Structure 1
């Protein structure tokens, strides 16, 4: 997760999502922070009709601008569709 930010159910955040069928394709995707349906005391990301545990292993950004800046840093210019190798 990004810094010491605490998230709450209902927040909209931005994450990097890799296409599971084409591993060299990644994009910035919005996701909803929700209470995990199987563990109501835990938060999860709801993304593409699935739940992902919200943990410190994820790069989560509060704004799309922050996510795009990080994406550009790690993968290349998002507006040009270029990836760093």
Structure 2
């Protein structure tokens, strides 16, 4: 799986994020998000998710396709059958 750094993104790009529920840490979902120009830091990009802007860091699980995100989700949260 390729690691994408902030400089690999462009405004308007749709990405998929593995998102953990802040109230129930054992629950995670895949959410569609957008790469946008950060309105608070014009020289940086941000992740726009749930009507909020997040800085793009290596701590985020960002995937460029839904299939890639689903594969990672199954790896980390799928059944151990």
Q: TM-score, normalised by structure 2?
A: 0.86
Cα distance change of structure 1 residues 27 and 4 upon mapping to structure 2, 3 Å threshold: closer
Stretches (4+) displaced over 2 A: none
Deviations 1:3-58 (A, max 9, x none): 24611010000011111122111001010000111001111100001111012221
Alignment size in residue pairs = 77
- The structure that is strand-richer by fraction is 1
The equivalences for 1:11-30 within 5 A come to 11-30=13-32
* Structure 1 unaligned spans of 5+: 78-83
- The structure that is helix-richer by fraction is 2
Q: What RMSD over aligned residues (CA atoms) do the two structures have, in Å? A: 1.6
